[in-house]
Amino acid sequence: MFQIFYPDEYKASAYVVDFEKLYERGFRGIIFDIDNTLVPHGAPSDNRALRLFERLRSAGFDTCLISNNQEPRVKPFAEDVKSKYIYNAHKPSIKNYRKAMELMGTNEDTTVFIGDQLFTDIWGAKRTGIRSILVKPIYPKEEIQIVLKRYLEKIVLYFYKRSVKREVTVNGNEQEQKKG
């Protein structure tokens, strides 16, 4: 029932993703959400984000930020980390996921999306047909509309984690937080 919202992977942070392994598997573009994925909501870029994007460029990745925020929030962050960007993205609409791939010169098979929200970030990526990685929100203080969605996300994540554990048990696979 909830599978349409399940990510392909669930990680503690965008900063622990094995990007080198993704590159080996043929991925060349990474689309990121910003708020609570890379930095706390509304925060500017920090040294950790700057180092991550430098590492990604060095590995051969292109990047694009897509955010439902307006340009005054997104543009300075994108300029700091030297990434392409799309603001007012209307996630989970697939239009701007596709636009991000067009900007990066990638396609569904060579693009990964990383974000912290199931009903916007991950659902949009899944609807677009690209690999999705859900990360835990960096900071718990969020706008009220996001707080309300988090309650529903907890229900979906409960069933997601159960399905992953069941899959691990059936397959004897030890990579418990991985799906797809």
Q: Give the per-residue pLDDT at 43.
A: 95
Domains of the chain, with CATH numbers? 3-140 (3.40.50.1000)
Q: Using CB atoms within 10 A of its CB, is residue 53 exposed (0-12), middle (13-18) or buried (19+)?
A: buried
Q: Kind of pairing, strands 131-135 and 111-115?
A: parallel
Task: Record the tokens describing residue 126, joined without a space.
Answer: 């899944």
Q: What is the pLDDT of residues 10-37, one digit of tens each?
A: 999 999 999 999 999 999 999 999 999 9
Q: What stretch of H or E contains 55? A: helix 47-59
Task: State whether residue 19 is helix, strand or coil.
Answer: helix
Q: What is the pLDDT of residues 85-122, one digit of tens each?
A: 999 999 999 999 999 999 999 999 999 999 998 889 99
